[in-house]
A and B are shown apart, each in its own frame.
Chain A
Amino acid sequence: MASLVSLHNVIKRYVRGKQTIEVLHQLDLEVPAAQFLALMGPSGSGKTTLLNLIGGLDRPTSGEIIVAGEHIQNLSSGQLAKWRARHVGFVFQFYNLMPMLSAERNIELPLLLTSLSSAQRKRNVAAALELVGLTSHAKHKPAELSGGQQQRVAIARALIADPTLLVCDEPTGDLDRASAGEILGLLQLLNRDQQKTIVMVTHDQKAADYASRILHVDKGQLIEAAVKSAA
């Protein structure tokens, strides 16, 4: 299967005061389309940095990152923002919902960057709410929802613009076991039924087991841990 995400010789260094820290060392990675990839590793191993590079939130110090055919390391900040809007859906550990907006308004946010009409946006939001099982909570604000429900809203927001890639940073890190299972089940469903390519960072082996492929990030290097035939 063709790669949706390709990283070649990617190096990422941070400068902290007089110190330069190399977080990722000449990293290569291929993620085929419709794969559910889990990135695991201890704190500080560089897994979130890698996720940020794949999602176009950060730039590599050197190397090449190609996502959906675009060399994103060459894009300007504005171009990168537009590219993210078109191709990437983000799911964060703490949901990052806008507290003053209702669930449906939060979900609608990415659609405000498109040319869809208000009626079309409403229809898409209703479909996304149904997909994550929160139709009855459309008018609720984040503070009125449980952690699991908030993460469902965040997933619906990530999916609403039909992105090529879903990037999830510890999506169950703030949830109890039952809610985490529901969220991971939902991600698995999206991967299996809608062929969504998912890259997920987690430190939880049980969460990683939902993925079709697991990679360990250790000291800035990738180590293949498991590839399931189901992928």
Chain B
Amino acid sequence: MSVFRQLSAVVGMNLRNLPQRTGASLVIVIGIAGVVAVLVSVLAMAVSFSQTIAGAGSPDRALILSGGALQEAMSSIPRDSVANILDAPGIARDREGRPIAAAEALAQVQVEPKSGGKLINVALRGVASVEPELRPELHLVEGRMFRPGLHELLVGRSLEERYGLGLGSHLEFQSGDWTVVGIFASSRPSTFDSQVLTDAQTLLAAYQRDWFQSITVRLAGPGSLDQLKRALAADPTLHVNAYLESAFAAAQSQALNTVLKWIGYFIGGMMAAGALFGALNSLYASVSSRSVEIATLRAIGFGAGSVVVSVLAEALLLAVGGGLLGALCAWIFFNGHVSSMELSGLQPPIAFAMSVRPDLLTLGIVWACVIGLAGGLLPAIRAARLPVARALNAVV
């Protein structure tokens, strides 16, 4: 009981002394806040981007690309191969026995934002329609469906919000003028939100192409992917590969996600080292300014352990303060902030809303605590080893 009283008394005295060391305390708080804000923001960017890429994929859909294509943009499936592919087993069928699938074409177009400024690269995807059976997560939120044969477009909601490409907008690219007739959205963060959709056949005609980029199919059930793969491999006229859509999407984002996380940890680590030395310096100064107080407590009979705990408690309190401040800044400035990044040079940028999730905030605060404790350890040991007689005589 007296140990607890001893600890709480010394810790309480130290913390009550904090206002007298505002400047030095702020160095610690702001340094750690900076680390946490940067770390959480970069990780939120990485995680949100990955989520958006992964959001386009589904575990019950397969993506079929031409052999050797590592990305959808690098793939080409001849128009006359599509029927053979759609006849393969493993593809789910509707009540009329038609395959639930869509051959899709992809083009990169440049459009001018409504607000002016430089042209932006946008992915134009040719689809059969906003197919509810194939992609139930996509739905029209405004306007109507495009009509085949006409230069009509559906615009993803994030494009519409970011660049003002609303209903009735006219976009100038290949083969003239295209009109936005509808706005669609995905029920989960997805790359589709950054795309423009049109009728696949209209797109092929406009670009005078005779091939699609990919075929997306709904799988009939568990084990259907292997069945489909075997059937496609057995047909010598086809040179295509089938991938589980969710796995393909995850693989697409993995490299960039890893790089972003490394950047986050590297910058965060460098800043953490700076903050740690800042904390170390400030806490050494704090111990030095309190040397008589500490020596007096030690003379009275307070143990070295309570002195160590009091310095660590100060470091921890300031670190948690800095961590919370940094987390709050990251949340205020970046949560919901729409950013865009390119997955590769072959694809247009993908817009995504940054989500500063609770697990990232927790991670940031854990980092703050580790920095605080690491920065407080040596000053705490110095405080405990303070020669009592010398420190007391220093005042005389």
Contacts and interface: CB of A to CB of B under 8 A. Distances in A.
A86 B301 CA distance: 8
Given A98-B13, A109-B297, A115-B1, A81 B393 contact: no
A173 B293 CA distance: 19
A78 interface: yes
Interface of A: 48-49, 52, 55, 57-58, 77-78, 81-82, 84-86, 90, 92-94, 96, 98-101, 109-110, 112-115, 157, 169-170, 173
A177 to B, nearest CB: 20
A85 B300 contact: yes
B396 A90 contact: no
A81 B389 contact: no
A112 B395 contact: no
B158 to A, nearest CB: 54
30 contacts: A52-B393, A57-B392, A58-B388, A77-B304, A81-B298, A81-B302, A81-B303, A81-B304, A85-B302, A86-B301, A90-B296, A90-B299, A90-B300, A92-B392, A94-B395, A96-B292, A96-B293, A96-B296, A99-B17, A100-B13, A100-B16, A109-B9, A109-B300, A112-B6, A112-B9, A113-B5, A114-B2, A157-B300, A169-B392, A170-B396
Contacts of A78: 303-304
B379 to A, nearest CB: 19
Contacts of B387: 58
Contacts of B293: 96, 98
B302 A113 contact: yes
A57 B6 contact: no
Interface string B96-123: 0000000000000000000000000000
Contacts of B392: 52, 57, 92, 96, 169
Given A57-B299, A113-B6, A115-B1, A96 B395 contact: yes
Interface of B: 1-2, 5-6, 9, 13, 16-17, 292-293, 296-304, 387-389, 392-393, 395-396
B301 A94 contact: no
Interface of B is mostly: helix
Given A94-B396, A170-B396, A113 B301 contact: yes
Given A57-B392, A81-B304, A113 B17 contact: no
B387 to A, nearest CB: 8
B301 A48 contact: no
Nearest to B395: A94
7 A-B pairs with the lowest CB-CB distances in the bound complex, closest first: A85-B301, A58-B389, A96-B296, A52-B389, A100-B16, A57-B389, A112-B5
A121 to B, nearest CB: 9
Contacts of A77: 304
B1 A84 contact: no
Given A81-B298, A84-B301, A100-B17, 4 more contacts: A52-B393, A92-B392, A96-B395, A100-B13
A94 B393 CA distance: 10
